[in-house]
Amino acid sequence: MSELRRFVQVDVFTAEALKGNPLAVVIDGAGLDDATMAKFAEWTNLSETTFLLPPTHPEADYRVRIFTPGGELPFAGHPTLGSCHAWLSSGGDPKRPGEVVQECAIGLVRIRRDGARLAFAAPPLLREGPVEPALREQVARSLRVADADLLDVVWVNNGPDWMAARLASAEAVLAIEPDYVSMGRLKLGVVGAYPAGSPLQFEVRAFVPGLGPAEDPVTGSLNAGLALWLQGAGLAPDRYVAAQGAALGRAGRVHVAKEGGHCWIGGDVTPLIHGQMRL
């Protein structure tokens, strides 16, 4: 039998409504089976829908399951920040002052307050280094660029199978007109730097044609993988702000800070819808 469950919809990586990446959160997710969760995520037709559940790990404050219209993800960034915001706003009380511990399929993810923002600790890369030559060729075809335009093409897999292509500039990133047929089911991030002195360091785009919307507005997991790679390679400072979503009419801002042995991926969360749903 269906029942009323608390539900919120938030906009993540933005302080201005309708400029970030929307997220649907079912706060009372206990008792829902996998098929119902998947069907509801398909129905919302957002890039991700999450379900909050009691934790199974003794250190965790809550557990989350993350679904796209095309299936479940082991981890994702904007659902982490949005789910944490929803959990706190609905009365969640962290076990440790100043820190929330989220349990998800990849394990425990630490979340802290960074001023008015929330920030999660970037999970370690599960796969890194240059991609195989055949994949590099597929990336070039997918982005409709010459191989010489690809400064790097590397794995930044942190749960989702992200690979990242670095172009010469933010302008080049914004000019991409992807070939989704060639891209297939790749999870492909693209990054390019802004000129020195700009308040933004990078422009980022994320292409995921196999998971629902072909381009994701603002992507925490990709930015987390990018940050570990770029900072580790000396291509990014310890603190920077990345922009994402301009190609879709959004203005997402991802705040990256390397502190205390962790790389923190932060962003504002703007609540839009509060209510109940029957599921």
Q: Which long-range contacts link 93-99 to residues 24+ away (Cβ below 8 Å)?
A: 94/61, 95/59, 95/61
Contacts of 75 (CB under 8 A, 6+ apart): 66, 104, 105, 106, 109, 123, 158, 159, 160, 221
Q: Crossing angle, helix 77-89 and helix 220-232, to 10 degrees?
A: 120
Q: Which run of H or of E encompasses 22? A: strand 21-26
Cβ burial, residue 233 (10 Å; 0-12/13-18/19+): exposed
CB 165 within 8 A of CB 178: no
| Catalytic residue numbers, as ranges | 48
Q: CA 74 to CA 64: how far, in whole Å? A: 10
CB 25 within 8 A of CB 276: no
